[in-house]
């Protein structure tokens, strides 16, 4: 590939979902250019993404995980951060890998609000994702005000004891906790696209608003249905990402094209 035809050369890598293997594409993203990494890799559970990416055995899966982590982390700016979606099966091993390279800020539990209808019979039914939040350095970017959760009038009134009046958390909203209770995207959900592990915009937009400055760049090595790209556009951030499955790349193109005109840009999916 010549420099002229390389979609990742120069500024051409920005605001694009590249339909290729993240391990290849990451090599051409400039080091120190990314504010926020959002990674939602295959979980090592054998899910079908139209490829074999989730069919590795434990040893291969952890080896591959370490490879992409080492390819992705140098892309972060000095005050950048990473959110990684995992399940309980491999979060212990992967958190250890990341703690050797970054500062762990939070373990966030995403309660997927799975309805109670029977479930596992020889263990407790697993109804959450484990999300790791890591920072490259102690002075990492974090905009708490952008993600405060406002009180409704009734609750606000109930908390309005004299000692609390004027408190920022009461007036502007409270600080989100580390358990995020957000419904998974069931088949009839209005946001739902044709992808088996699509994440809710509410979750990804909170990450973007808190951890990427306006106009900054979010990188997602495993785009899937493109939730990170859509969230970045809706929040006025730039993005780049990779996805192996060409059908999902087309899905991302459609989701971006369906955004309001103020969130649109030209060519968005390459490869």
* φ/ψ (deg, to 5) at 13: -75, -15
The residue among 213, 136, 205, 138 whose CA lies nearest residue 176 is 205
User: How many CB atoms within 10 Å of residue 51?
Assistant: 12
Query: Which CB atom, from 62 or from 172, has the smaller least distance to ligand SAM?
Result: 62
Instruction: From 45-53, 125-133, 168-176, 262-270, give the range in contact with ligand SAM by CB under 6 A.
Output: 45-53
CB of 66 to ligand SAM, least distance (A): 14
* Choice between 83 and 151, CB closer to ligand SAM: 83
Say whether residue 197 binds ligand SAM (CB under 6 A): yes
Q: Does 195 bind ligand SAM (CB under 6 A)?
A: yes
Of residues 64 and 174, the one with the C-beta less far from ligand SAM: 64
In the complex, residue closest to ligand SAM by CB: 224
Check residue 244 for interaction with ligand SAM (CB under 6 A).
Answer: yes
- If one asks whether residue 65 binds ligand SAM (CB under 6 A), the answer comes out as no
Question: Using the rule CB under 6 A, is 49 a contact of ligand SAM?
Answer: yes
Q: How near is the Cβ of 219 to ligand SAM at its closest, in Å?
A: 12
**How many CB atoms within 10 Å of residue 256?**
21
Instruction: Report the DSSP beta bridge partners of residue 110.
Output: 129, 180
Taking the C-alpha atoms of 96, 98, 99 and 100 in order, what is their torsion angle to the nearest 10 degrees? Answer: 90
CA distances from 82 to 48, 115, 174 (A): 25, 30, 23
Residues in 75-134 that interact with ligand SAM by CB under 6 A: none
* Chain-centre distance for alpha carbon 116: 27
| Site membership for ligand SAM, residue 224 (CB under 6 A) | yes
In this structure, what token pair is assigned to residue 116? 């109670």
Whether the Cβ atoms of residue 62 and residue 86 lie closer than 8 Å to each other: no
Give, as one character, the DSSP assignment of residue 229.
H
Contact window for ligand SAM (CB under 6 A) among 108-116, 124-132, 154-162, 236-244: 236-244
- The nearest distance, CB 261 to ligand SAM, in angstroms, is 23
Torsion of CA 6, 48, 257, 238, to 10 degrees: -60
Give the binding site for ligand SAM (CB under 6 A): 21-23, 40, 42, 49, 51, 53, 195, 197-199, 222, 224-225, 227, 242-245, 248
């Amino acid at each position: 590939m010549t420099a002229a035809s390389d979609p990742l050369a120069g500024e051409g890598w920005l605001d694009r979902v590249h339909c290729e293997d993240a391990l290849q594409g990451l090599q051409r993203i400039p080091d120190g250019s990314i504010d926020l990494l959002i990674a939602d890799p295959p979980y090592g559970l054998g899910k079908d993404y139209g490829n074999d990416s989730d069919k590795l055995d434990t040893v291969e899966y952890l080896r591959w995980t370490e490879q992409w982590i080492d390819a992705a982390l140098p892309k972060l700016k000095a005050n950048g951060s990473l959110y990684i979606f995992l399940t309980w099966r491999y979060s212990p091993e992967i958190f250890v890998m990341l703690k050797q390279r970054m500062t762990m800020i939070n373990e966030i539990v995403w309660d997927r609000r799975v309805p109670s209808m029977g479930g596992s019979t020889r263990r407790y039914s697993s109804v959450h994702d484990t999300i790791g939040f890591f920072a490259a350095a102690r002075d990492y970017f974090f905009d708490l005000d952008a993600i405060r959760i406002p009180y409704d009038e009734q609750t606000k009134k109930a908390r309005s004891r004299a000692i609390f009046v004027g408190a920022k958390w009461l007036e502007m909203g409270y600080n989100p906790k580390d358990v995020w209770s957000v419904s998974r995207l069931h088949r009839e959900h209005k946001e739902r696209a044709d992808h088996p592990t699509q994440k809710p915009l509410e979750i990804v937009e909170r990450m973007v608003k808190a951890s990427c400055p306006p106009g900054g760049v979010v990188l997602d090595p495993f785009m899937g249905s493109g939730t990170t790209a859509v969230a970045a556009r809706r929040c006025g951030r730039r993005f780049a990402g990779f996805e192996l499955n060409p059908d999902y790349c087309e899905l991302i193109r459609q989701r971006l094209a369906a955004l309001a005109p103020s969130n649109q840009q030209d060519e968005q999916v390459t490869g």
